[in-house]
Amino acid sequence: MGTLKNLKTADPEIYKAIRNELKRQRNSLEMIASENCASINVLNTLGTVLSNKYSEGYPKKRYYAGNEFIDVIETIAIERAKSLFKVPHANVQPLSGAPANFAVYAALCKPGDTIMGLNLSDGGHLTHGWKTNVTGEFFKSVPYHVKENGYIDIEEARRLAVENKPKLIWIGATAYSRELPFEEFAKIADECGAYLVADIAHIAGLVAGGAHKSPVDYVHIVTTTTHKTLRGPRGAMIMVTDRGLRKDPELAEKIDRSVFPGFQGGPHDNVTAAIAVALLEASRPEFAEYASQIVKNSKALAQGLISNGLRIVTDGTDNHLILVDLTPFGKGKGVFAQEALELGGIIINKNTVPKEQSSSFYPSGIRLGTPAITTRGMKEEEMKVIAKLIADVIGQIKGYEMPDDKEGRAQYLKKFRKEIKRNAAIKTCRERVEELCDRFPLYPELRV
């Protein structure tokens, strides 16, 4: 990060964009559930000479020379992952979550095999077999769903697994606010002979910090990104459990071959080192306190939103995220809420809700998360303030209705954006947000 002063002269356009992005992050409440604020040590590690190296292969088994110290770094990252998550094998080379998940498919499945995962609009992830993702095209996807109360329908999942005999079952989500039922899905996988894979990309930091049950005793493989609640760089890991090795003693080797040379070339060594730094940070007692506070904040925020008249899917949360269902105000309200809240300095994302009446482009909900604002030091009292601000802004968009006519949507959104910029309540929200951000500064040590 110290080289940015030189960048100001060398490339003023990029320097200005980076500086403005830092300003945006400092002056906004980052509440997208899949985002966080990595530590200064993680950020500094990313900008090192490690970016110069090519390291195809694995420690002591490289295709290129000059990897003596890269081997040291990757081995440290592997051992820290194994220790933190209590697994016998870890691969820290996947470039992000989707490639990590696809590497698992490549290791275990053939095109046309049956797979199961949580349906996308019920809170699942694209790579768990959604129809527009390659996983839904290459494999026969049989999704399971949530019940009317928003909780995963375990009985439906069991029935579908018995009927369809999937090769692989995913237990994991991207917009599901309750504790994942690992033990129940382990019984289902055993009953139909499937591999069970936990995608803990969203909750890895909670698992590491003891704020969410670990899947390790119940599944065969664990995949995760490293930049969400784990608060590291944008990377991923695949871990094999003891249970996985009992099912298939060659499972670790299959995963490693699938990552390289099967699915990708050289790893990003600067990211590997930053993952190692993040794993060390996550092993410390203060990280456990942080993970616990994420959940406390999420619960307080959910209760605050409910108290202010908003509907929360499952009526609460067990983890870091909250899914707000705006269908009581009409379908397709998510895009209006997302843009209005961004103007107010609160960054969230539009999101589908169970039994979605609209589409993924114009969904009827929004997804909120507390990892980044917890990183800034905010606690339950701030959640009450933020809940009121969110509810006030959403109150300003109730009168807007997305046209059914696709041709008329662009013009309607243009009109909405013009009007909402002049909204006094949203301007007040922005002022309150900036006051809150000043009290909980982000990266005060950075001088850009």
Residues annotated as catalytic (active site), given as ranges? 54, 56, 199, 225, 228, 234
β-sheet bridge partners, residue 236: 225
- Transcribe 263-311 into DSSP letters: I-SS--HHHHHHHHHHHHHHTSHHHHHHHHHHHHHHHHHHHHHHHTT-E
Question: Tens digit of pLDDT per residue, the chain (448 long)?
Answer: 445 778 999 999 999 999 999 999 999 999 999 999 999 999 999 999 999 999 999 999 999 999 999 999 999 999 999 999 999 999 999 999 999 999 999 999 999 999 999 999 999 999 999 999 999 999 999 999 999 999 999 999 999 999 999 999 999 999 999 999 999 999 999 999 999 999 999 999 999 999 999 999 999 999 999 999 999 999 999 999 999 999 999 999 999 999 999 999 999 999 999 999 999 999 999 999 999 999 999 999 999 999 999 999 999 999 999 999 999 998 889 999 999 999 999 999 999 999 888 888 899 999 999 999 999 999 999 999 999 999 999 999 999 988 888 888 889 999 999 999 999 999 999 999 999 999 999 999 887 7
DSSP string for residues in 381-440: HHHHHHHHHHHHHHHTSTT----SSHHHHHHHHHHHHHHHTT-HHHHHHHHHHHHHHHHS
Same domain, 234 and 254: yes
CA atoms within 13 A on the CB side of 394: 26
Has residue 273 been placed in a domain?
Answer: yes
The answer on 305 and 273 residing in a single domain is: no
Q: Is the same domain home to 355 and 411?
A: yes
Q: Are 176 and 123 in contact (CB under 8 A)?
A: yes
Give the integer Cα–Cα distance in Å for 157 and 159.
6
Q: Evaluate whether residue 444 is within a structural domain.
A: no
User: Which CATH number fits the domain that encloses residue 379?
Assistant: 3.90.1150.10
Q: Can you give the residue range of the structural domain that contains 92?
A: 45-282
Q: Does residue 14 sit within a domain?
A: no
DSSP secondary structure, 170-220, as one string: EEE-SS--S---HHHHHHHHHHHT-EEEEE-TTTHHHHHTTSS--STTT-S
DSSP string of 119-168, one letter each residue? -GGGT--GGGT-TTSHHHHHSEE--B-B-TTSSB-HHHHHHHHHHH--SE
Flag whether 309 is in a domain.
Answer: yes
The CATH number of the domain where 267 resides is what?
Answer: 3.40.640.10
pTM score, two decimals?
0.96
